Structure 1
Amino acid sequence: MKRIAGVLILIVYHQLGEWLVRLAGWTLPGAVVGMLLFFLTLLALRKPPEMVTVGADFLLRHLALLFVPAGVGVVLLLELIRDQWLAMLVSLVISTVLSMLFTGWLMQLLMPKEHTPHD
Structure 2
Amino acid sequence: MSILRGFLWLLGFLLLGDILVTLLHLPISHGVAGMLLITAWLMGRGRLNNDIAIASQALIRLLAMLIMPGVVGIFFIADEFAGHWLAVAVALVVGTLLSVLTTLWLMRRFMPGVEATSEAAPNE
* Same structural fold, with TM-score higher than 0.5 when normalized by the shorter chain: yes
- Identify the range of structure 1 (70-79 vs 81-90) with the bigger mean alpha-carbon deviation: 81-90
**Unmatched runs of 5 consecutive residues or more in structure 2:** 102-124
**Paired residue total:** 98
RMSD (Å) for aligned C-alpha atoms: 2.9
Residue deviations 1:12-71, cap 9 Å, x none? 101101101111222233323222221121122221121101000000011111122023
Tell me the equivalent position of 2:12.
12
Whole-angstrom distance in 1 between the partners of 2:85 and 2:23: 36
**Unmatched runs of 5 consecutive residues or more in structure 1:** 104-119
TM-score, length-scaled by structure 2: 0.62
- Identify the range of structure 1 (51-60 vs 3-12) with the bigger mean alpha-carbon deviation: 3-12
The 3-state SS of whatever aligns with 2:27 is coil
Counterpart of 1:25, as a letter, is H
Tell me the equivalent position of 1:31.
31
Tell me the equivalent position of 2:117.
none
Residue deviations 1:65-117, cap 9 Å, x none? 11220232133344555664344235x27x828x96xx9xxxxxxxxxxxxxx
Whole-angstrom distance in 2 between the partners of 1:14 and 1:27: 16
Tell me the equivalent position of 1:70.
70
**Higher CA-based Rg:** 1
1:1-119 mapped onto 2 (5 Å cutoff):
1-81=1-81, 84-90=84-90, 92=91, 96=94
TM-score, length-scaled by structure 1: 0.64
